[in-house]
Structure 1
Amino acid sequence: MKGTSSLIVSGILALLGGIAALAFPLPVSLAVTVLAGCVFVASGAFGLWAAFSDRGMPSRGAAAFFSLVSLVAGVWMLANPLAGMVSLTLMLGALFLVSGVVRLGLSLATWRGTVMFWLMALSGLISAGLGLFILLRLPEASLVLLGTLVAVELIVMGATLVAMGFALRKSGNP
Structure 2
Amino acid sequence: MSDWLKLLLLGLVSIVFGVFILGAPVVASVAVTAITGFLLLISGGLQVAGGFTVDGTANKFLSILMGAILLFLGWSFLSNPLQGTISLATLILILFMAGGIARLILSFQMRGTRFFWPTLISGVLSIILAGIIWSNSAADPTWLLSLIGILLGIEMLFNGFGLTFAALFMRSAEKGNRAA
Contact 1:37 1:73 in 2 (8 A): yes
Aligned to 1:12: 12
Tell me if 1:44 matches 2:69.
Answer: no
Aligned to 1:118: 117
Aligned to 1:90: 90
Question: Unaligned regions of 5+ residues in structure 1, if any?
Answer: none
List per-residue Cα deviations over 1:89-121 (Å, max 9, x = no partner): 11110000011111111112x122444222211
Aligned-pair RMSD on alpha carbons? 1.8
Contact 1:89 1:141 in 2 (8 A): no
Question: Unaligned regions of 5+ residues in structure 2, if any?
Answer: 176-180
Query: TM-score with structure 1 length normalisation?
Result: 0.90
Aligned positions of 1:29-108 closer than 5 A:
29-52=29-52, 54-56=53-55, 59-108=59-108
Which segment drifts farther, 57-66 or 139-148?
57-66
Tell me if 1:135 matches 2:137.
Answer: no
Cα separation, 1, equivalents of 2:31 and 2:17: 13
- CA drift at 1:55: 4.3
Number of residue pairs matched? Answer: 171
Aligned to 1:145: 147
Sequence identity (%):
29
List per-residue Cα deviations over 1:28-73 (Å, max 9, x = no partner): 1111111111111111011111112x14378221111111101100
SS of residue matched to 1:112? coil
Cα separation, 2, equivalents of 1:150 and 1:121: 25
Which segment drifts farther, 69-78 or 140-149?
140-149
